[in-house]
Amino acid sequence: MKILSMALGAILLMSQSLLAQIELQDSWKFTLDAPADAWTKPSFDDATWKEGNGGFGTAGTPGARLGTRWQTKTIWLRKTFEVTEIPSDIALLMHHDEDVVVYLNGQKLAEQKGYTTDYKVLPINSEQKKILLAKGKNLLAVHCTQTGGGQYIDVHVVDANNVPTLPPAMGSLKPIDTKLTTTWGNELTADNAWTEYPRPQLVRNQWTNLNGHWNYAISPAINKTIPSDWAGKILVPFSLESKLGGVQRLLQPTEALWYHRTFEVDKLNGERLLLHFEAVDYLCEVMVNGKSVGTHQGGSTPFSFDVTDSVKAGSNDLVVRVEDKTMGFQLQGKQRPNPEGIWYTQVSGIWQTVWMERVPQNYLRDIKIATEATKGTIRVQPILSSNNAGQKIRLVVKDGDKVAAEKVGPAEAVEVAISNAKLWTPASPFLYQLEVTLLDANDKALDQVSSYAGIRTVGKAQDKDGHWRFTLNGEFIFHWGPLDQGWWPDGLLTPPSDEAMLYDIEFLKEAGFNMIRKHIKVEPRRYYYHCDRLGMMLWQDQVSGAVNPPWTRLAPNPTDAQWTDEAHAQYMLELDRMVNNLENHPSIVVWVPFNEAWGQHRTVAVGEWMVKRDPSRLVNIASGGNFWPVGDVADEHNYPDPAFPFNQDRFKAYVKVVGEFGGHGFPIKNHLWDTEANNWGYGDLPKTEQEYRDRYVRTFNQLMELRKRGIAAGVYTQTTDVEGEINGLITYDRRVIKIPAKELKALHAPVEDADPKPRSAP
């Protein structure tokens, strides 16, 4: 048997017939711009055309084997193949969109109207067969058009008597090669890549940043042996697929990604050495000096290994091995192997800071902070590396340079009350500085960390009309914010810098928003620190999986997806890790376990667990549905205009919100992720900038009207453009603000209008 396709994988012919000697090269040249008239001829020079693997189209098109994304209205394709002998019956094996014309060696061979939903065999008549050259190279040229919906084109010349079964397509190993960059990305070097201390709520002085250039290699996933040769350099903490990482390679589900660098260690003198990874997507093993020090599964939260017994004074070897299958039960959020629409480029490997920390033998692994506004209390519960008899905690609370409270108590927990405490609100986000010291039985200091706390209480209460509203410190507060994806054209999931990440938050604050819905992503810990100090409330989504039930929104009698016990246990583990990682931040006021049925399963059990796990915050169990009666919030998504089904009594006991609306698209020339993509917003695109602004004003005013009827929050889609989505208030590269913050703040002034006092305590 002969291989019929190279880039698509082997097409094994079903016969030793004459066609078995035809070799089809299925790597195509293509263009999306109308070519010169001679484009169907073998002599035509297509050197400037792009190259891609068949078939061409969009993900989700029925029957498609997607090799290269095609989203425009028309495409021209060329490929050559070699013929050694000619079969007696030639046919075309095609799956095509609405209209397609096929040429062979410069002459029209077939023309088909309409579209197919799978591959069809089109016989070629005897006269047309003469077009096929007797032997040697042959040229197949195809022109395909489409007007809407999913699209696809793939064509093969086959033996009509032995039609092959096509294997899965081999997609491109390169992500979209965008020219889009941010100013911060342009200023990035290996020396300034995320040099800030990564854990603001547990600060020590003795730490070493391991970001910078590492060696990398890619191997088959079955290979468990550390590579002897490295493919080149990758800039950590940026992913394999990102522009800033320097590689821009899509990791396949059948591959493993390897990292390597050396690091120096001074003599430890009885100390412990911790190796920290802020986030690695998705499954990894870490090796120090050839010895495995641990594994981790989960792509969004920090983890650490104690490497004290694996290091030596002087130079040490560090190797990280990563696998990332992206889809299925794995929690991947917005990542997709074939990004389009609301789905974005996959991210693999290390995508947040890697660092080391020297700690004492007995140390504070973590602290848990709880506050209560009416009493003005701060409670600190230490998580210790070892529980030795007689250990104590000294808590010092400072207001600037002034000590506001101080107490020594048992190592289980220490609580202090501050008279006339300054409360944390979006308008006045006051933070007390904390100094937490671990003491032995003789009051000798064993370890000390710095932290901070914002005193506030999150709750809900009914207004005079019986509608449930959000409260903060016992006062009604309307939550108004954008959907925020947290993606970047050059860094993907990783912001180019701390300054870049801060830019988004500061713009939203200046624009009069008091809340951000952090959508299907866990940010670096410094993001939440900036929200804490700037006074920005957060709804924090959990990262989703891709095994979904039908999306029925707020309709009665929803169904859950069927997740295995093993997959559910991993989901709960990652959910708990997210809460553990973020629960000290005063900015976070609402947890959102599910969104629009993405990976939604065992909803009531997850909601009940969430309510019990963190009773200090509210739970929006499923933003946009599917709605189950658990948690605190009923959340409707409606585009472009906000709406809510007020006539359903099922929601009377819940805080009613519009968790997504708007999404008005407006393209800015020279600031698009992919000029050849179907860049889109919700609804038809406005013709002018003024029309775009008018739409924003209209939908905001509609939200304010819904507020009078009981809506307690609104989430506008969205902060920035993201890949093919052009519905941001800012372009994807953060270079153009579509509506100035000053104008937005003036428009948003009604959000600050006072509501009546709550009827009952929060």
DSSP for 176-193 reads -------HHHHT--SSST
State the CATH number of the domain containing residue 688: 3.20.20.80
Claim to verify: residue 296 and residue 401 sit in the same structural domain: no
User: Rg (Cα) of the chain, in Å, rounded?
Assistant: 29
Smallest CA-to-CA distance from 458 within 537, 375, 523 is with: 537
d(CA 510, CA 516): 13
d(CA 469, CA 490): 40
Kind of pairing between the strands at 515-518 and 537-541: parallel
User: Is the alpha carbon torsion for 66, 67, 71, 74 positive or negative?
Assistant: negative
Phi-psi region of 109 (alpha: psi -120 to 50; beta: other; left: phi over 0): alpha
State the CATH number of the domain containing residue 271: 2.60.120.260
d(CA 524, CA 512): 24
Claim to verify: residue 713 and residue 576 sit in the same structural domain: yes
d(CA 539, CA 623): 10
In terms of Cβ atoms closer than 10 Å to its own Cβ (0-12, 13-18, 19+), residue 222 is exposed
Residue 547 lies in a domain: yes
Residue 231 lies in a domain: yes
DSSP 3-state assignment of 692? helix
Boundary residue ending a domain (433, 453, 473): 453
d(CA 98, CA 115): 4
Claim to verify: residue 699 and residue 616 sit in the same structural domain: yes
In terms of Cβ atoms closer than 10 Å to its own Cβ (0-12, 13-18, 19+), residue 134 is exposed
Residue 3 lies in a domain: no
Q: Would you state the torsion angle of the CA atoms of residues 160, 162, 166, 172, taken in this order, to the nearest 10 degrees? A: -70
Boundary residue ending a domain (332, 359, 386): 359
Smallest CA-to-CA distance from 440 within 380, 387, 391 is with: 391
Residue 665 lies in a domain: yes
Write down the H helix ranges in 78-153. 126-129
In degrees and rounded to multiples of 5, residue 13 shows phi and psi of: -70, 150
DSSP 3-state assignment of 321? strand
Judge contact between 748 and 511, C-beta under 8 A. yes
Claim to verify: residue 354 and residue 383 sit in the same structural domain: no
In angstroms, the Cα distances linking 755 to 461, 707, 761 are: 12, 10, 15
DSSP code for 374: T
Fill in the amino acid letter for 418. Answer: I
Claim to verify: residue 579 and residue 713 sit in the same structural domain: yes
d(CA 295, CA 356): 17
In degrees, to the nearest 5, what angle opens at C-alpha 705 toward C-alphas 703 and 709? Answer: 105
State the CATH number of the domain containing residue 410: 2.60.40.10
d(CA 726, CA 465): 39
Residue 702 lies in a domain: yes
**Which neighbouring-strand residues pair with 185?**
none
Q: Which domain holds residue 739?
A: 486-752
Claim to verify: residue 147 and residue 57 sit in the same structural domain: yes
Q: Tell me: the pLDDT tens digits for 713-743?
A: 999 999 999 999 999 999 999 999 999 999 9
In terms of Cβ atoms closer than 10 Å to its own Cβ (0-12, 13-18, 19+), residue 715 is buried
Residue 174 lies in a domain: no
Claim to verify: residue 591 and residue 618 sit in the same structural domain: yes
Which residue, chain included where needed, has tokens 């790597």? 27
d(CA 632, CA 643): 19
Residue 111 lies in a domain: yes
Residue 431 lies in a domain: yes
d(CA 718, CA 334): 15
d(CA 63, CA 50): 25
Neighbours of 444 (CB within 10 A): 8
In angstroms, the Cα distances linking 646 to 477, 510, 589, 655, 707 are: 21, 32, 24, 12, 12
Claim to verify: residue 540 and residue 446 sit in the same structural domain: no
d(CA 714, CA 734): 23
Residue 534 Cα to chain centre, angstroms: 24
Q: What secondary structure does DSSP assign to 589-653, as a single string?
A: EEEE-EETTTT--SHHHHHHHHHHH-TTSEE-SEET----S-SSEEEEE-SSS----TT-GGGTT
Which residue, chain included where needed, has tokens 């395909």? 144
SS3 helix, strand, coil % of the chain, rounded to 5? 15, 35, 50
The encoded tokens of residue 81 equal 């193949």
In angstroms, the Cα distances linking 721 to 100, 399, 489, 523, 752 are: 33, 40, 10, 18, 27
Judge contact between 41 and 181, C-beta under 8 A. no
Identify the segments of the chain with pLDDT beneath 50: 1-25, 760-762
Claim to verify: residue 319 and residue 437 sit in the same structural domain: no
Claim to verify: residue 547 and residue 512 sit in the same structural domain: yes
pLDDT of residue 7: 30
pLDDT of residue 632: 98
pLDDT of residue 569: 97
pLDDT of residue 174: 87
Judge contact between 260 and 317, C-beta under 8 A. yes
d(CA 164, CA 592): 48
Claim to verify: residue 204 and residue 124 sit in the same structural domain: no
Fill in the amino acid letter for 208. Answer: T
Claim to verify: residue 514 and residue 408 sit in the same structural domain: no
pLDDT of residue 759: 56
Residue 640: cis peptide before it, omega within 30 degrees of 0: yes
DSSP code for 227: P
Smallest CA-to-CA distance from 97 within 141, 150, 60, 54 is with: 150
DSSP code for 270: T
Please count the structural domains in the chain: 4
CA atoms within 13 A on the CB side of 454: 31
pLDDT of residue 182: 98
Kind of pairing between the strands at 458-462 and 445-453: unpaired
DSSP code for 157: E
